[in-house]
Amino acid sequence: MRTSKKILIVDDEAPNLGAIARCFELRPDLPYEVLQSTSAPKALDIAGLELPDLIITDWDMPEINGIELIRRLKSNPLTAEIPVIMCTGVMTTSENLQAALSAGAVDYIRKPVDAIELIARTHSMLQLASSFQRIREQNQELRDSNERMDRMARTDMLTQLSNRFDFVDQLKREMSAAPERAKPFVLALADIDDFKSFNDRFGHSCGDYVLQELAKLLRSELGSGHSVGRWGGEEFILLFRDARLSDAEKMAQRIRQAVADSTWEYAGQRLHITLTMGLCQDGGNSDVDTLLQRADVALYKGKRGGRNVVVVDS
């Protein structure tokens, strides 16, 4: 971890550049590493490569003046957070100083530079920059923590699929967009047949295995553009986006067959897993509860009719 602070000094006149650099050379006790440039374009390159902790720049320079240098630094995400002190002539107007601050300078110092003032302002700006950096890091950590908590609140921990809360939210968004879509969407509820037997015969860890492995297969078979979540217990919920009912039924049949044809094994025991699915199509004027009820009715028609089937809401 770097402990010294890098300071980049920019001035097209070598005597001025040297005078500022000597102010720091007279204080070898300070943990400063001084970089120098007589060219503003070159200074931009140095800033991007070295990422100094502070930049002190002259105002009046050829090619790129101090104001434009600051603007370019602030427009680059790599250098945008580097504090800049503007070094100005004694006759600089208050309007010009305001322009420098508006461009992004955090402070200014007048020429000829007083060493004590320069060191004091440098120390102050570096401390302030460090404080801002800590605040930014803490804010980022807070944002990351909030994002993790939000993901956890929306994710089923066992299967890593969307949970009921998240899926209902997705469904509501889909329904609000449905009138503008060229195709409707299809909702499906899928239930593992005889799920209780897995827990009764091999223990609840077997039931967890079935749910986890089935979640992987459903996600894989469903493909991109569609969604699958764990509805609760041994039930999953699927959303076929931009799909006609006939197309969704074909996809559901393919998924059902893939489950039935797959080889499942737990603790050396072969398992026979099948799904029963109930489908319904959004008619454009239904609410979430009505759609879920229709899919549920279709699902239980399949359960009563022999299981391992796909039933479409009539």
Annotated catalytic sites, by residue? 234
Long-range CB contacts for residues 244-247, cutoff 8 Å, separation at least 24 = 244/183, 244/184, 244/186, 244/281, 245/186, 245/279, 245/281, 245/312
Q: Give dist(CA 287, CA 284) in Å, integer.
A: 9
Instruction: Kindly report the three-state secondary structure assignment for every residue of the chain.
Output: CCCCEEEEEECCCHHHHHHHHHHHHCCCCCCEEEEEECCHHHHHHHHHHHCCCEEEEECCCCCCCHHHHHHHHHHCCCCCCCCEEEEECCCCCHHHHHHHHHHCCCEEEECCCCHHHHHHHHHHHHHHHHHHHHHHHHHHHHHHHHHHHHHHHHECCCCCCECHHHHHHHHHHHHHHHHHCCCCCEEEEEEECCHHHHHHHHCHHHHHHHHHHHHHHHHHHHCCCCEEEEEECCEEEEEECCCCHHHHHHHHHHHHHHHHHCCEEECCEEECCCEEEEEEECCCCCCHHHHHHHHHHHHHHHHHCCCCCEEECC
Q: Give dist(CA 34, CA 5) in Å, integer.
A: 8
